[in-house]
Structure 1
Amino acid sequence: MPDSHFNASGSPARFARRARTLAFALAAMASAASSFAAQGNAAPLAAERAYGALETVATFDGPMPTGVTVTETGRIFVNFPRWGDDVPFTVGELRDGKVVPYPDAAVNRADDRHPADHFLSVQSVVADGQGRVWVLDTAAPNFSSPVEGGAKLVAIDLKTNRIVKTVVFPANVMRAQTYVDDVRFDFRLGRAGVAYVTDSSLSGVGGIIVIDLDTGSAMRRLTGDPSTSADTSFVPVVEGDALMQRDAKGNTKPFVVASDGIALSPDGKTLYYCPLSSRHLYAVPTALLRDASVSEPQLAAAVKDLGEKGASDGLESDANGAVYAGDYEHDSIRRLAPHGGWTTIVHDPRVLWPDTLSVGPDGYLYFTANQLHRQPGFHGGKDLRRKPYALFRVRIDAPPAPTR
């Protein structure tokens, strides 16, 4: 007699049908899994995206560049500091796709016997919008102590291509580890204008140097202030690695660079600056900066911390009041709107250490990318830089900030 329970829960025929259904389901699942796996192998995985209409202006197969400037007529100048590369000339002009010594080869030959008359190691070049390009000579090759009488600002007339003015930094603003890094000009002041210069000393203690371009007199301001000094707690991460000085034995020490980037507001009333070893942007009223009767504590109290912007080497401003900053940890260029708020305008893996920025008359922001973080001093003596270095530009649709 058949088992009534077996009859109630399922006959052999029903069991067979269930088995066939289960087999079909398993086969369908296997087919779907196979199809899913095939699609997964074929489709690209998500990756960090690049954005910003980045254009390559020039590449450099020789020494690494730092500074770039674009004149009101579109001429482009670059400089190559003497940091250990073979540097036949430390200031050059881009002509027909090549870099040629500027204003000539003779001035570019380092000569410690006549330091005021030769370019020793130039860190920055800046077109002033008044028919001149200014050369900022650190006189500190390989970050040595500055050669006495060699740290200077040199103005070259763009029509004659001749030196028309040399301002040697007086001894009262120079220290054993001073490294004059970048400069901005305001010709609305005094008889010949004023220059603001950052001291990015590798001691970590920075400052701002204010120079009267008529008399050559100068004073240091905010020396050792937290806003001009390296943030000792800051350890940048570039290309996934902590950026520290490393010798061949594996010993490390922090990479500390003081006030470096600098930019001037279009009305000349606000100076923006930042230590390289920091992610913060600072601002100070220029009227107080120039006034010797304003004490250092009073001046320090007037400094504004504008918050984090990313870690930057160079800064720049435009005529509309925007401030631009490189972000060397993220291969990016960032922009601070006139009324606040940062946006990233370029992010690209080719932007390996954005250094100096310059707004051209064509509505583009120009900047160098020089792989500074790949130098031997950060990698146990191994040079990881891969030539060529690059000069890029990105459209910003804004003219340069005026200097007069």
Structure 2
Amino acid sequence: MNASLKLCALALAASASLAQAQTAAPKLEVVAEWNRLSYDLGDKAAEKAYDDQQVYKKALLHGVKVDSRGTLYVSTARWGGAEVPATLSKLVKKGKAWKLQPFPSKALNDVTNPKGLKAVLGFEIDRNDVMWILDQGHVAGAPSKPGDEKLIGWDLKTGREVARYEFSDADSDKKCSFLNDVAVDNDAGVVYISDSGIFCNPLKGGILVYDIQSNKAKRVLSAPEWVNNEDYSFKIHGRDVLKPVDGKPNGMKTGADGIALSGDKKTLYWTNLTGNRLLSLPTALIRDFSKSEDEVKAAVKLVNSLPSNTDGMTADRNNNLYMTALGLNGIMKRDAATGEVKTHVSHDEVSWPDTLAWGPKGMLYFVSNHLHLWVDGDMDFDHPKVPNFRIYRFATGAKPYLAK
């Protein structure tokens, strides 16, 4: 082969390798893992009691978020009971083990503190390193008390609370509500919130909008056809999500859950967990509190029918959406240019991918927590085939929706 042919062959090979690299699935990296969650409480007696009384069986890992320095924070929503020592924690390394350290403090995680955090599921860290903490208020599913359902802004740089809003009865039903997840718009000064409404049948799901400057909120959408379950059943690794009761199917019913703000801040997306519709609303409309429910309802758009239902979602600065795929054991990606949704990353060891979080350098983190096994009481805390709780990450090469 002459020199020119060799160069041509090398160029073609390089081109093929580049094309393959561009289409290859991102590599998943395990950041942290646990068979049972372990807390750093600064109190040996309390830590021993946590283990001896098997309180770890009541603690489920839900969300993860990452600040600008790469510090990880996680939520454990006290679905199992008040004994769970903290509902919001910072991850700290003790030797080779990751521990959950109550955040912002033990006092604010004290379930008996009337101003403290009761049950945090969704939270977000904005581009100014302010953590927006959404407190469901419901401990072990009990109705929340006045002041329990709230949104708190916590400045990570100064270590101070900078905002607090307690949801009124007009915002959320204190028996039925299930305040789930948040998305933040720093440009407009708005926080968007999903409510799954799971504690009543029929569900009472909804979308809420909070205006930071005025410290006011409004429930902008409660239309049942858009924010409740869609008579949708699904399996995780071939297993029904909930065990039958008295021999009858026991399907999960969950309304508005995953929520995401587009990179250009013009569109709010959400999904109902027991459903596979990707829905949207224009943010300019729902930020205007003078608009009626009928006007908002008329503007809802069905964007896509998804190949899987999803729990958590987020967007990059270019408006591409990343969505956890419960039935596909991984992450889906919606291409903003084409509208096409494809499996982006999947692995057999991923089980119930829950929330998504942006980290430095375009890394996207997510939790895998075997939630269905925990809910059914079938979680093996001693010798599971795969660690019960994992935090994964993968490179996107993109900027988060929060970026300027």
Q: Which SS does the other structure have where 1:226 is aligned?
A: helix
The match for 2:124 among 123, 126, 137 is 126
**TM-score of the superposition, structure 2-length normalised?**
0.80
Q: Equivalent residue for 2:65?
A: 69
- Residue 128 of structure 1 and its aligned partner are, at CA, apart by 0.9
- Residue 271 of structure 1 and its aligned partner are, at CA, apart by 0.1
Letter in 2 for 1:291: D
Q: Equivalent residue for 1:334?
A: 332
**Bigger Cα Rg:** 1
Q: Equivalent residue for 2:226?
A: 227
- Residue 148 of structure 1 and its aligned partner are, at CA, apart by 1.9
Q: Equivalent residue for 1:35?
A: none
Q: Equivalent residue for 2:398?
A: 398
Alignment of 1:318-329 (within 5 A): 318-329=316-327
Gapped regions of structure 1 (runs ≥ 5): 1-49
1:370-394 alpha-carbon deviations (Å, 9 max, x no partner): 10111243xxx54467444000001
Check the 8 A contact 1:144/1:177 in 2, yes or no: no
Check the 8 A contact 1:361/1:400 in 2, yes or no: no
Letter in 2 for 1:53: K
Check the 8 A contact 2:120/2:136 in 1, yes or no: yes
Cα distance in structure 1, aligned partners of 2:289 and 2:271? 22
Q: Which SS does the other structure have where 1:166 is aligned?
A: strand
1:52-74 alpha-carbon deviations (Å, 9 max, x no partner): 41100111321221111112222
Cα distance in structure 2, aligned partners of 1:98 and 1:241? 31
Distance 1:128 1:376, change over 3 A: closer
How many residue pairs were aligned? 344
- Residue 245 of structure 1 and its aligned partner are, at CA, apart by 5.2
Q: Equivalent residue for 2:104?
A: 103
Structure 1 residue 195 corresponds to structure 2 residue 194: no
Structure 1 residue 353 corresponds to structure 2 residue 357: no
Gapped regions of structure 2 (runs ≥ 5): 1-23, 38-58
Cα distance in structure 1, aligned partners of 2:161 and 2:296? 35
Q: Equivalent residue for 1:268?
A: 265
Cα distance in structure 1, aligned partners of 2:327 and 2:142? 27
Check the 8 A contact 2:322/2:334 in 1, yes or no: yes
Aligned-residue identity in percent: 32
Alignment of 1:376-387 (within 5 A): 376-377=375-376, 381-383=377-379, 386=384, 387=387
1:280-308 alpha-carbon deviations (Å, 9 max, x no partner): 11111011112233332322221111122
Q: Which range moved further: 343-352 or 142-151? A: 142-151
Cα distance in structure 2, aligned partners of 1:391 and 1:376? 19
Cα distance in structure 1, aligned partners of 2:161 and 2:291? 35
Cα distance in structure 1, aligned partners of 2:105 and 2:67? 18
Letter in 1 for 2:205: G
- Residue 239 of structure 1 and its aligned partner are, at CA, apart by 1.7
Q: Equivalent residue for 1:208?
A: 207
RMSD: 2.0
Distance 1:354 1:123, change over 3 A: same
Cα distance in structure 2, aligned partners of 1:306 and 1:374? 31
1:186-233 alpha-carbon deviations (Å, 9 max, x no partner): 1322xxx2111000111333110111223332211220342211102x
Distance 1:94 1:383, change over 3 A: closer
Q: Equivalent residue for 2:134?
A: 136
- Residue 152 of structure 1 and its aligned partner are, at CA, apart by 0.9
- Residue 401 of structure 1 and its aligned partner are, at CA, apart by 1.1
- Residue 184 of structure 1 and its aligned partner are, at CA, apart by 1.1
